[in-house]
Amino acid sequence: MNRALPKICAIAAAVASLGAHAQTPTLPTVEIRGEGESYVQPNGTTATRDAAPIVQVPQSVIVVPRKLIEDQGAQTVTDALRNVSNVRHVDLRDFYNIQFKVRGFNAATLIDGQAMPSNFSNLESTVNVESIEVLKGPAPAISGGGQTAGSLGFLGGAIAITTKSPEPNARREIGFRLGNWSERGVFFDLNQPINETVGVRLVGESQHNGSESNGAFFKRSSLFPSLVVRPGGGSELLLKMRFSRLSNLDYSGLPPEGTILPALWTLPRSLNITATGQPVSSSKVDGWNLQWKQPISANWSYEVALAQSSSVLDQNGVFTDDFFFPNPGPFYLLTGLNLTQRVKSTTLSATLKGQADLAGVKHKLALGVDVDRTTDYGYMAGALGGLGLFDITNPVPPVWVAPVPNLPGAQDNTYASSALFLQDRVTLGNNLHLLGALRYTSIKVRNLWPDFGVNSTTTNSKLTPRLGAVYEFTPVYSAFVGYGAGMSIPTNGIYTTPPKPEGSKQTEIGFRSTNPEGLNATVALFSLTRTNAPVADPLNFGQTIQTGEQRSTGVDIDWNYKASKALTWFGHYTRQNPRVTQDTVLAVGSQLFNVARTSARVAFRYDFRDGALRGLGAGLGATYHSALPGNSANAFFTPAVTVWDAQLSYVAGGARYQLALRNLLDKQYYEPSAYFGGNHVTPATRRQISLTASYAF
């Protein structure tokens, strides 16, 4: 899979051999399933950069634990995030073109604390995921790389993924999947302690999914090696690596005419606007993350993290001229396109953490520095003259013609940032928790697009604060208020003038119920504003300007009710107004593209814990969202929809069998396509039936 992989395997084998000679006794694996297992994870690390009870965080933080991921058979991060309010999912056929959105705005994706490059796949597999924390709104003090271009910044929030680490007890798991739409896959998880101080783990999978769209498919293969060394005294060295390969047949969606808008024809949902001989698109993401944790004293410790992620995208697509020019059909000019992009992001973070007693008040402090550098090289090539006219009512695919390189032009951009941060968490008495944080970030950007005459170097800096308070009325009920600001340098555009930092700021008031054996809920009123938002330049085709302001205001509710040891109810609700508030291009009051005003979910899970049915579990859920704008101009909307899902599982010893059904009632509907920022639709995935069998030993 990678030249480094044989060396890694050889090193792991050598370490394993040393461990075998050490003759450490091996105990049989004992699997314990507690009666009190729940979907509530009381602590998190994303919001404060250190482990902290979520109840003490003055901001909405929702955690999706491993148990919920497994019980629902969620195969990708976007599958798992249907359980969190106000997060837009990503369709399998659209993953090159869109990022996660939280409360209407782009959110950074973090893997073990490192912000991923902007073309990192949002269809990250859950095979190596331990938990997912969703932080809603900007948090300027939490992570290296988060304010720079590569990750799109923390404008809407953060999707923070914690991956699996080596564990003290030996455990191996192998499994396979089968399903409709040509689904097939295998996966494994091999955890092996070498001795009392060294452990290794290797997680991997190979997965294939077909699609209702003719010829469209998705293939993924991933390998995640990790190594931990704990020499004693609380010290820990943790190395995690990733090797991921994705491939698919690029899909540009369908015109709204004949699908959701009236026309003299009706388009089949299975239509794929493609060309004969269109090459497969591919993406690979490699990376490593090295973390060192060292106690200094009983109250102080430091952490150093050095990480690098590199991605290569080779996208080959076919699209119709109505993306850019009005065309009601049925004849469209097709164009072939190749986009190549290479992004490498390197991050160094050093954090000093500890407690100090000042005038009888305990302060939990975190201070440190982040340094990162992101390089972004790419070019887009198009087939001169197009591929020919295409009659959508009598589709005859044209022949693929290789695009001409460097048309319209290559880009070679560099983004470098350095930041200092300070955070203080204070508890007054037993009830009041205060948080204050400051981050000073300086970002140097070099934009180079020779064919467009763009050659600029700019430096921007900004001080972003975060303030908040939590008051616990009782051990169960609390309220919080918070304010935070963030910044990011926009990317993936040809800017008429050097880009300015995008900004975001959020005020939030919330209420929490925290009861491990009852109701756990977060209710939050929020106002989130984005400034210097990029939009298409109306005077220069293909170029981008920054103008105006966008805002989302509303309420989020996330809840979980443990009715008994066997039965859990959970869900969420959002009502918001995501709109353009100031702009010189977009109409003021327009609803933000592909963002719902209302969304909700309700689900339950029942696990038989006694009697003849012990080990059997079942789940059922329904997810709703209101109409979605199909483009920024709100020229059309895809309809509101409710989609059901169900799960059935059985655990006996080390064996686990699971049946997962998505879109249970086979609802046939459309959602906006993000290809070129909208104007087309994607037929939503029809009923999926996935059977998984695994065995742990």
Instruction: Provide the pLDDT confidence category of residue 629 given band limits of 50, 70 and 90.
Output: very high
Residue with tokens 């396509």: 673
More confident residue, 16 or 214: 214
pLDDT of residue 149 exceeding 90, the answer is: no
pLDDT the model gives residue 21:
40
Alpha carbon 664 to its chain centroid, in Å, reads 25
pLDDT of residue 28 exceeding 70, the answer is: no
Neighbours of 396 (CB within 10 A): 9
Neighbours of 111 (CB within 10 A): 23
Q: Report d(CA 575, CA 557) in Å as an integer.
A: 9
pLDDT of residue 24 exceeding 60, the answer is: no
* Contact by Cβ (8 Å): 532, 105: no
pLDDT of residue 15 exceeding 70, the answer is: no
- Residues 6+ away with beta carbon under 8 Å from 338: 314, 315, 316, 317, 380, 381, 382, 402, 403, 405
pLDDT the model gives residue 457:
87
Instruction: Provide the pLDDT confidence category of residue 17 given band limits of 50, 70 and 90.
Output: very low
pLDDT of residue 3 exceeding 70, the answer is: no
Pairing of strands 519-531, 549-562: antiparallel
Q: How many residues would you count in the chain?
A: 697
- Residues 6+ away with beta carbon under 8 Å from 17: none
pLDDT the model gives residue 140:
56
pLDDT the model gives residue 57:
94
| Token output for 154 | 């923390």
Q: Report d(CA 11, CA 600) in Å as an integer.
A: 48
Any idea which of 160-169, 198-207, 583-592 has the lowest mean pLDDT?
583-592
Q: Report d(CA 147, CA 460) in Å as an integer.
A: 11
pLDDT the model gives residue 539:
75
- CA dihedral (41, 47, 52, 57) positive or negative: negative
Q: Is 348 exposed, middle or buried (0-12, 13-18, 19+ CB in 10 A)?
A: middle
Instruction: Provide the pLDDT confidence category of residue 566 given band limits of 50, 70 and 90.
Output: very high
More confident residue, 78 or 537: 78
Instruction: Determine the average pLDDT of the residues in 417-428.
Output: 92
pLDDT of residue 12 exceeding 70, the answer is: no
pLDDT the model gives residue 406:
56
Q: Report d(CA 336, CA 297) in Å as an integer.
A: 62
pLDDT the model gives residue 360:
80
pLDDT of residue 493 exceeding 80, the answer is: no
pLDDT of residue 245 exceeding 50, the answer is: yes
pLDDT the model gives residue 5:
41
pLDDT the model gives residue 168:
95
Any idea which of 118-132, 559-573, 663-677 has the lowest mean pLDDT?
118-132
pLDDT of residue 87 exceeding 70, the answer is: yes
pLDDT the model gives residue 502:
85
In percent, how much of the chain has pLDDT > 70?
90
Q: DSSP letter at 639? A: P
What average pLDDT does the structure give for the chain? 88
Instruction: Determine the average pLDDT of the residues in 448-460.
Output: 82
| Token output for 293 | 């944790």
Q: Report d(CA 310, CA 222) in Å as an integer.
A: 15
pLDDT of residue 156 exceeding 90, the answer is: no
Any idea which of 77-91, 291-305, 527-541, 631-645 has the lowest mean pLDDT?
527-541
pLDDT of residue 74 exceeding 60, the answer is: yes
Pairing of strands 157-163, 108-111: parallel
Instruction: Provide the pLDDT confidence category of residue 241 given band limits of 50, 70 and 90.
Output: very high
More confident residue, 10 or 290: 290
Residue with tokens 């049989």: 28
591: nearest Cα among 552, 537, 642, 548: 552
Alpha carbon 364 to its chain centroid, in Å, reads 29
Domains, the chain, in order of start with CATH, read 4-19+37-696 (2.40.170.20)
